Structure 1
Amino acid sequence: MTTKAANSLERVLAVLEVFSEERLEWTSEELMERLGYSRPTLYRYLKTLKEAGFLTSTPNVGFTLGPKVVEMDYLMRKSDRLILDGSAQLKGLTERYSCTALLVRWYGDRLLCIDSESSMRNPLTSFPRGRPMPLGPGAIARSIMAFLPRRNLVPLIECVIGELQQVGLGANIEEILDHLKKVKRAGVAVAYGEVTPGVVGIAAPIFDAGRSPVASVGVTIGGSLVDGALIAQIASDIKTVAHDLSLSLARGRL
């Protein structure tokens, strides 16, 4: 791919990136103002995305995400080895504990739940499948961050240091790094009410053939349902699940 083609692709993808939970609809005028594209360029990109099904438009409303996104989500569920192998593991966790179990992918600078199971009438999670999670607080984020190389980790900490300080991870970067080293040694992260009040989160990282984490498996459970011994038991089970899924992903890359 030529540099020009690569740049054009990045600019097309940038159109999709502006859609979020906070902003689900955009007019062409708003997109031009946000992205800084000329009218002919933007209209060309919008036409391409509409024809491919990634966007749809409604008169007097604007553009929203289109049906191709749903189609690709279906294909992902059918092909993602983490979902295929992890679904049974999540069910096993929810059969043993009254909890919500989640698989979360780490990509770019985002954490995204890709699958979940719950044995509770009202699942104890603020982030169902498809909703990005915060990078700072919570066991899921910590289980990923603790295993990142320092060169990648420090810039992340700098971006969310205020949130990490609020949940008591440390007063500065070095103290936060020390805390994350303890998480790495333990192989599992535990958080108390950091993302959802009254809920304990427990999570462990998942690796593929590489040394950096690509995902995390976690459990959220009501704080009133657990004590130290039960948290330790759940943590042990989650580490086992994470290890098994890591082996499965590594084998899939051979």
Structure 2
Amino acid sequence: MEHDPSSAKTNSLEKMLAILDGFDEQQVVIDIDRAAELSGSSRPSTYRYLQALTRSGLLTPASGGTYALGSRVIELEMLRRENDPLHRASHHLIRHYAQTTGLNIMVCSYYGDKVLCTDFAWADRSMPDIYRPGRSMPLFRGAMAKVILANHSQARLRSIWTWNEAALREAGLGHTLAEFLDAMAAIRSAGAMITSGEVFDSLVGVAAPVFDLEEEVLGSVVFVLQADRFEASDPEKLSEEIRELSRGIQRGIARASRFNAIATGAAAKPRRSPVYSG
């Protein structure tokens, strides 16, 4: 069962904000025709939306009548990064751990309907740093995403299955709801997960979830290894190391909360009808 979130664009604000969906790694500028297509609006209305987004700083005029992301986006990202409990607790820790072990480490955050790379420490330079802060990850593939998915409540998992049944089957996470829930329970019980080649060929991910103070999943921490290095390693040892790193991050979140150094934060909640990119 699939649901198209774009069908819910019913008011001017939703139509205006839909223009921002046109930006990604391949498309860094947008013109009025593309903006009109995204918003489902006439050119005059679209032009008003573009002007409003420009006044807010979310967009800025670029060459050839196009628009690029504006300065306010950068300012908001700085505020998010500096006040995000997961980022603050993990930033220095993963760098120390990467330098000590020579392992590449990535931190992913969960934002309700997306899993994003928010930080990484790349110790093994023989592997290109293909992950970047802000890069969106598929929620149904890769260890970094599956350990997040598995740690939702039973009610939320049932809702996710309802709206994403075909994608979950395609990802090999079960052909029935019962199989899907069993697969999630197994990952949750293990406390860590290893996948190979699910996001990028020849790369192995070893991931563990990270929780907030209310035991809601905030994101995950991941070792990223080339397949040949993984084959020469002990999978059980790697799994225990990533679990310990996750516990270290959670201790940092708790410590910061006790001393009011940062806001405790809260895990993002999915949409009422959660539809994910599988």
TM above 0.5: yes
Q: Is the 8 A contact 1:146 1:181 kept in 2?
A: yes
> What per-residue deviation string (whole Å, max 9, x for no partner) do you get for residues 6-60 of structure 1?
x554443322223222433322122122212344443332112212221122342
Q: Alignment partner for residue 64 of structure 2, among 60, 63, 75?
A: 60
Matched residue, 1:216 = 220
**Per-residue deviation at 1:209?**
2.5
Structure 1 partner of 2:92 = 88
SS at match of 1:202: strand
2:243 is paired with a residue whose SS is helix
Q: Is the CA contact (8 Å cut-off) linking 2:194 and 2:206 kept in structure 1?
A: yes
What is the aligned partner in structure 2 of residue 158 from structure 1? 165
Among residues 99, 104, 126, which one is paired with 1:100 in the alignment?
Answer: 104
Moved more, 214-223 or 238-247: 238-247
Q: Distance in 1 between matches of 2:116 and 2:210?
A: 14
Is this contact kept in 1: 2:169–2:175, CA < 8 A? no
Structure 1 position 239 matched with structure 2 position 243: yes
Tell me if the contact between 1:124 and 1:222 (Cα under 8 Å) persists in the aligned partners.
no
The higher-RCO structure (CA 8 Å, 6+ apart) is 2
CA change 1:125–1:177 in 2 (3 A) is farther
User: Paired residue for 2:264?
Assistant: 253
C-alpha distance in 1 between matches for 2:16 and 2:253: 31
Q: Distance in 2 between matches of 1:104 and 1:163?
A: 23
User: Given residue 148 of structure 2, which amino acid in structure 1 is its aligned partner?
Assistant: I
Unpaired runs of 5+ residues, structure 2, are 1-10, 258-262, 266-278
TM-score (norm 1): 0.84
Task: Decide whether aligned partners of structure 1 residues 216 and 197 sit closer, same or farther in structure 2, where only a CA change above 3 A counts.
Answer: same
Q: Retained in 1: the 8 A contact 2:107–2:220?
A: yes
Measure, in 1, the Cα distance between the counterparts of 2:135 and 2:166. 20
Counterpart selection for 1:186 from 187, 190, 204: 190
Deviation larger for 92-101 or 131-140: 92-101
Distance 1:22 1:150 in 2: 37
Using the TM superposition, give the Cα deviation of residue 118 of structure 1 relative to its aligned residue in structure 2, in angstroms.
Answer: 1.0
Distance 1:227 1:123, change over 3 A: closer
Residue aligned with 2:188, SS? helix
**In percent, how many aligned pairs have the same letter?**
29
Which AA in structure 2 matches 1:253?
T
Does residue 205 (structure 1) correspond to residue 209 (structure 2)? The answer is yes
CA deviation map 1:189-224 (0-9, x unaligned): 111221122222011111113333121111111221
- Could you tell me which runs of 5 or more consecutive residues in structure 1 were left unpaired when the two chains were aligned: 1-6
Give the alignment's TM-score, normalised by structure 2: 0.77
Q: Once the 2 structures are TM-superposed, how far is the Cα of residue 125 of structure 1 from its aligned partner?
A: 5.9
Aligned to 1:3: none
